[in-house]
């Protein structure tokens, strides 16, 4: 499949179901998060092969801080290991890393790792992988509107120009795994005319074949953007 086959440039995924995946197997939640990281690796590799210019993954929301301290610590540890272990692969596969959200409020060692990864992959062009960390769409909209106000009139164009995703293609398709059918404060502005795709698959079980199935369905949809 190429871009001409499905027409999508930018796909976002709410990666839901790690905890339930672990519970079904009588494993601790961290095992589900580890399996979820493996799914991320597989899907990111597939994104370029499927002709996607950009992919945005909801890794850690601003609401996730409400989770137990041990689970938050496990998630941060997994994220650091993912960045460290996959940076060479990003470079080899021409993947540019981008991080959206209030990620500079994270621990200094995490911020330093991210800064290094952003710098090392800045020149890559095949696919952009945007990871949403400490992200909430309502917070993003407040920040974008504030920036627009500081620059002049608050218009739709000014807000869009100040979104975290301003340098990415418009969002075409938003996927959510695990059977939940809500946006959970993710890319609310960007999703205004995006197609939505919900699957019962838990995130660790989501495969490149599932991504291709979502893109196949996207290709069959008639996007009218409010027109006839």
Q: Is 185 considered catalytic here?
A: no
Condensed to tens digits (0 to 9), the pLDDT of residues 99-148 reads 999 999 999 999 999 999 999 999 999 999 999 999 999 999 999 999 99
pTM score: 0.93
| Interaxial angle between packed helices 29-49 and 208-220, expressed in degrees from 0 to 180 and rounded to the nearest 10 | 60
List the chain residues with pLDDT less than 70: 1-4, 227-228
Q: Is 210 considered catalytic here?
A: no
pLDDT at 228: 59
Residues 6+ apart with CB under 8 A from 184: 14, 58, 61, 63
Q: Which of 64, 93, 124, 185 is catalytic?
A: 64
Task: Please report, in angstroms and rounded to a whole number, the separation of the first and last CA atoms in the chain.
Answer: 29
Q: Of the CATH numbers 3.40.50.980, 2.40.50.1020, 3.30.360.10, 3.40.1180.10, which one belongs to the domain with range 3-219?
A: 3.40.1180.10
């Amino acid at each position: 499949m190429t871009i001409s086959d499905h027409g999508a440039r930018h796909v976002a995924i709410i990666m839901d179901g790690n905890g339930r995946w672990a519970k079904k197997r009588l494993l601790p939640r961290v095992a589900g998060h580890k399996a979820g990281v493996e799914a991320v690796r597989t899907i990111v590799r597939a994104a370029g092969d499927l002709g996607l210019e950009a992919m945005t993954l909801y890794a850690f929301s601003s609401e996730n801080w409400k989770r137990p301290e041990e689970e938050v610590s496990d998630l941060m540890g997994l994220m650091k290991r993912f960045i460290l272990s996959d940076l060479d692969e990003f470079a080899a596969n021409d993947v540019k890393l981008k991080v959206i959200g209030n990620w500079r409020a994270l621990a200094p060692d995490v911020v330093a790792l991210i800064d290094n990864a952003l710098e090392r992959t800045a020149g890559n062009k095949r696919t952009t992988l945007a990871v949403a960390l400490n992200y909430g769409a309502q917070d993003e909209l407040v920040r974008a509107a504030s920036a627009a106000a500081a620059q002049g009139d608050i218009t739709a164009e000014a807000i869009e120009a100040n979104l975290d995703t301003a340098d990415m293609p418009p969002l075409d398709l938003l996927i959510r795994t695990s059977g939940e059918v809500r946006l959970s404060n993710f890319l609310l502005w960007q999703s205004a005319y995006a197609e939505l795709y919900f699957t019962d698959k838990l995130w660790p079980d989501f495969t490149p074949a599932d991504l291709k199935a979502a893109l196949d369905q996207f290709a069959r949809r008639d996007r009218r953007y409010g027109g006839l």
